[in-house]
Amino acid sequence: MAEDLLTRPNSTQQSAGDQPSVVKFDNVSIAFDRKPVLEEISFTVVRGETRIILGPAGGGKSVLMKLANGLLRPDSGTIRIFGENITSLPERDLFKRRARIGMVFQESALFDSLSVEDNVAYRLHEEHVPEQEAHARVVEALKFVELEQAIQKFPPELSGGMRRRVSIARAIISQPDLILYDSPTGGLDPITSTTIVELVMKQRDVSHTTSLMITHRLQDAFTLAMNRFNPETGKMVPIPDGGVDESTKFLVLNEGKVVFDGTTHELVSSTDPWLRAYLS
Ligand SMILES: Nc1ncnc2c1ncn2[C@@H]1O[C@H](COP(=O)(O)OP(=O)(O)OP(=O)(O)O)[C@@H](O)[C@H]1O
């Protein structure tokens, strides 16, 4: 998958550390009803990076995610995804680009009338993948989220945490080059949240998929930054000596502006009074 990304013509752009940029915002602004929601936003996410997006409610985090997926268009500025300027692409071209992006929505967004299997296979059905292959891939994706026993159930029969797992399985089924997680732990209790963070970590450390993750819970953000998935035990373990995962970085938005863009160490050692108050 990663190699595939490298070999696609014009699909990447060189950026920091010589890694190709997967998401690049340049001076992006958007307003609703003349009210600015994002103002002059610039940041880059390179291949293999996990970018945690933090900030107070209403700061524009979900809008940023929708811009990255081409579901919204900016009023000004440029958005490049996989090195390609998507800012003014027609919808039919955006649709094709979205095939490379997995999305986990805030409220799971599953179809209640479809079984877990059909929910997870949704994109494969759209792509007319043969039934037998689709089934095998659904089983594999459900195994990844440890939910294969629920394959024949329907979303209303599942707990909130299980629905979130199905949503993650649906996002990874097509082996995306980018995953957008919009508050994957929103509304879940702390223990269930941790199991979802563990899945995000597993995807990061096993598949190295580039991702953006919005979270309202600082605890989840730092769990992701300071732990690593151990494939032998199937559990996360703290990175020794107070270390952090180098591929995990932060973007903090407040009132539509980037107030922080950097590493975990830079974030926790920032002397900015607003950031210190926000993190305390
Ligand atoms: N389609 C829309 N039409 C009008 N206003 C919108 C639209 N989408 C978002 N907004 C406004 O943009 C602002 C930012 O919303 P957004 O959902 O991105 O914030 P957020 O940081 O994700 O908040 P939360 O943490 O509560 O999820 C809000 O004031 C919201 O009402």
Residue 254 above 50 pLDDT? yes
Q: What confidence tens digit (pLDDT) does each residue in 222-238 have? A: 999 999 999 999 899 99
pLDDT of residue 17: 55
DSSP letter at 74 equals: -
Residue owning tokens 């649906």: 170
Q: Where does the pLDDT of residue 244 fall: very low under 50, low under 70, confident under 90, or very high at 90 and above? A: very high
Distance 173 CA to ligand 1 centre (A): 28
Q: How far apart are CA 279 and CA 89, in angstroms?
A: 38
The two tokens of residue 107 are 């409220």
- pLDDT top residue among 9 and 163: 163
The two tokens of residue 275 are 């950031």
Helix, strand, coil share (%) of the chain residues, nearest 5? 40, 25, 35
Distance 60 CA to ligand 1 centre (A): 5
Q: Percent of the chain beyond pLDDT 70?
A: 93
The predicted model gives 132-158 an average pLDDT of 94
* Domains of the chain in sequence order: 13-100+177-279 (3.40.50.300), 112-175 (no CATH)
pLDDT of residue 8: 34
The predicted model gives 183-206 an average pLDDT of 92
Residue 63 above 50 pLDDT? yes
Distance 62 CA to ligand 1 centre (A): 6
Residue 38 above 50 pLDDT? yes
The predicted model gives 134-153 an average pLDDT of 94
Report the nearest-CA residue for atom 16 of ligand 1: 60
